[in-house]
Amino acid sequence: MSLAIKFGDSTDETSLSGAIYFDVVTNYTKNLSGKVTEHPIEAGASITDHYISRNPIYSVSGIISHIDFSPVASMLSLDGETVFNNQVPPAPVVINDLGAGLAKVIPGVVGQFLQLNKPSVLLDSSERFNYKLSLENFFETVMHGMFYNETRKRWENRMTPCILFELEGSVPNKPIPNLICTSVAINEDENSGDALVLNITFEQVTFVTLEKVDAPKPQKKSPTARATAEKSNKGNQNTNVNDPNNPPQERVTVEQKINEANAGVREIAQ
């Protein structure tokens, strides 16, 4: 079985995106589980009233190498996204045996006077790039990458959704969407060499969105209506404006206070 993973959304500038192809898959596990509630009763037993379904867990163990296992990575496209470890397939070996072929059919009496070329072997000399370090940095960013939220004006942890594909040759099918990478283990031993040996765990989640709606209006003159009614600020008002026995008082200014103080000083001086 061959597997490939697409990370993020390439059309979103704030999303981390990319895709990888496993050259070798050593283990693939899908774990479906749930939980039932337990309520102990006096008789010494437990009763159950409902069942809780847990998120499916997918575990993948595989190897990514720059050695030419197959040309699948160069032909693979996951929803228009090429994979990181895309290696150009090597050119086939060519043996140029034109001179040797003629030597087989020309008699030796004639061939001894001819300078026939010896067979030559043409090999692919293009380099193979090892993506091990680049992929390690990519997975580290997937697990602990931070980005600046322009709307909230703060740094937040990034959650990168993934899609897991099963491959039939170089054709991806059976996509498993809404996966969140919860664990990445990179293993190295005496047998791993320059290859990247990975153990990745995904959890399939359900995304929800928030929707704003208008709350229903409470009944008139109800406690809820009085508690939620808008308060109007009318300021300080004289409640006895029309009462002749309680006329409104004049507003006292600082200038009036200074004048009264000066008048008192003059009286004392006289």
What value, to the nearest 5°, has the Cα angle with vertex 15 and ends 13 and 20? 115
Q: Is 183 left (phi over 0), alpha (psi -120 to 50) or beta?
A: beta
10-69 confidence digits (pLDDT tens): 777 767 888 888 888 999 999 999 988 888 888 888 888 888 889 999 999 998 887 776
Q: Which ranges of the chain have pLDDT less than 70?
A: 14, 69, 96-119, 124, 231-258, 261-270
Sorted by where each starts, the structural domains of the chain and their CATH numbers stand as 2-37+49-88+129-204 (2.40.30), 91-125 (no CATH)
This prediction has a pTM of 0.63
pLDDT for the residue numbered 244:
60
End-to-end CA distance of the chain: 115
